[in-house]
Amino acid sequence: METSSFAQRLAVSGAMPRLSVGMGHSVDIGFLAPLSGQAESWGLPGLHGCRIWERWLNRAGGLLIGGRRYPITIHAYDCAASPVAAREGAIQLVQQHDIKLMMMLGGDTYAGVADYLMDRRILTSTLLPSDLSPDSPYLIAPSEVHPVYVVTGVEWLARTRPGLKTVALCAQRDGMGLPSLATYRAAFKAAGIEIVKEIQYPAEGGDAARIVQPMLEANPDILCWCTSYTPMVHVMTEYAHAQGYKGQILSCTFDHYEVLVDRLGRDFMEGVTFQFPDFDDPALREKAFFFNQPNVFYEQYNSLYPGSWTAVSWEYAAILDIWHAAVEKAGTVNPVSVLAAMKQLGHVTHAFGPAEWWGADLFGTDNALVGDWPVVTIRDGKARIAEFGSVPDWLRRHSDALRSEMQDLGQMWDQRLGAAGQGPELAARSVEA
């Protein structure tokens, strides 16, 4: 597959040839994700990013298929965090439009539509590779391989701050939190960092004092929030600050970290480590990857949608870019052919560089892309990439340990299929504490 993306080719050439649009109709894409309510920040910022990508492509002439260019149209449906609403939305989008790609957040909302979409061979993307299984052959996780990439942050801390010997960690009991907890467990054990306290709290959140105080009483060198949702990350960080904590803080995401910098001070937030960069980061300008000029995308996004940038703002657009390259390689928008084009060479460029298809050991199918992933740390009040860690390298060394921890928490694909409909719903990133 070509390693250059649409955004790269557009930036290099200045403008793509405006060939005639074919047959006067568009290629339809579905966006089935939470756009309102408690889970809004898991979907709406991603839709904003897709709208930018959609305008870029259509202004350049559209999707090139067989010598003709076709515009794309993204049809969005707000399913909140409800599997029932997700199924209603999937049926509406498929029946009203000739959907060639369905983009979803995943989790319990995907569980509500899996049979419907797979029976119709609709190529579907998820941000949660824990959705993957052999029963979903047309489901892909080409953008975010949560939570596997969090191992890079643990490994970086262990190498650069060898004095960190103990950790207390917490996670919510849902389809986001438990896989994250399992991965952090494996990563800390591989790094030789002792887990001195573990707290599992309800998916809807909880009282910060009841969660964080027992962690502090274990006197850890590291407090790890795993993949807690943004409101919980904020209140737990504020509680740790109020109790005089001076150690390292680690989390998968730290959306709106600048609010905490203003509230708690630069000194307290210095060195906080997580996994999602701002796209004006200087390190991205030197790396050939998805957006040739990520700072341009970042500036345009913040100009059009101020105050809404999160970890998912670019992720759905990254999926579109990979899909776009596969369509032009296959010469068709047929989902089966596009998936084959994605997998044909075994390698593709994802958001942060070359990646490889992986996942059979953990998910029962190699439909997840893994590659380098950034380790981000706050320096003088601003998030900055410290390095790009290799997820595949870590997996080659420690996949057995990760599988063991996933099994212990019931998160392997066969365990999840066996317990379908029995687990807690995926909570919202914006759930109120």
Nearest to 58 by CA among 49, 69, 68: 69
Residue 354 has pLDDT above 90, yes or no: no
CATH number of the domain that residue 346 is part of: 3.40.50.2300
Q: Are both 299 and 405 inside the same structural domain?
A: no
How do residues 236-248 score in pLDDT, each as one tens digit? 999 999 999 999 9
Give me the mean pLDDT over the 147-167 stretch: 97
How sure is the predictor about 104, in pLDDT bands with cuts at 50, 70 and 90? Answer: very high
Q: Are both 58 and 183 inside the same structural domain?
A: no
Please state the separation of Cα 105 from the chain's center in Å: 9
Is 379 a domain residue?
yes
Please, what is the end-to-end C-alpha distance for the chain in angstroms? Answer: 45
Q: Are both 162 and 271 inside the same structural domain?
A: yes
Per-residue pLDDT, 418: 65
Cβ atoms of 121 and 336 within 8 Å: the answer is yes
Mean residue pLDDT across the chain: 88
Q: Are both 257 and 317 inside the same structural domain?
A: no
Give me the mean pLDDT over the 195-220 stretch: 96
Give me the mean pLDDT over the 312-320 stretch: 93
Is 180 a domain residue?
yes
Cβ atoms of 180 and 150 within 8 Å: the answer is yes
Give me the mean pLDDT over the 222-233 stretch: 95
Q: Are both 129 and 165 inside the same structural domain?
A: no
Residue 149 has pLDDT above 60, yes or no: yes
How sure is the predictor about 1, in pLDDT bands with cuts at 50, 70 and 90? Answer: very low
Q: Are both 214 and 161 inside the same structural domain?
A: yes
Q: Are both 191 and 318 inside the same structural domain?
A: no
Q: Are both 334 and 386 inside the same structural domain?
A: no
Residues near 133 by beta carbon (within 8 Å), at least 6 away in sequence: 363, 364, 365, 413, 414, 416, 417
Q: Are both 172 and 90 inside the same structural domain?
A: no
Is 29 a domain residue?
yes
Is 423 a domain residue?
no
Is 303 a domain residue?
yes
Q: Are both 54 and 115 inside the same structural domain?
A: yes
**Peptide bond before residue 147 is cis, with ω within 30 degrees of 0:** yes
As to burial, measured by CB atoms within 10 angstroms (0-12 exposed, 13-18 middle, 19+ buried), residue 192 is exposed
Count of domains in the chain? 2
Per-residue pLDDT, 398: 97
Alpha carbon dihedral 5, 284, 190, 405, in 10-degree steps, equals -50
Give me the mean pLDDT over the 178-185 stretch: 96
The whole-angstrom separation of Cα 155 and Cα 164 is 11
Q: Are both 269 and 393 inside the same structural domain?
A: yes
The domain in which residue 123 lies consists of 6-144+288-310+312-351
Nearest to 42 by CA among 225, 153, 170, 175: 175
Is 233 a domain residue?
yes
Is 107 a domain residue?
yes
Per-residue pLDDT, 345: 57
How sure is the predictor about 78, in pLDDT bands with cuts at 50, 70 and 90? Answer: very high
Q: Are both 22 and 139 inside the same structural domain?
A: yes
Tell me phi and psi for residue 417, to 5 degrees. Answer: -65, -35
Tokens of 279: 């796209």
- Please state which of the ranges 185-189, 324-328, 348-352 shows the lowest mean pLDDT: 348-352
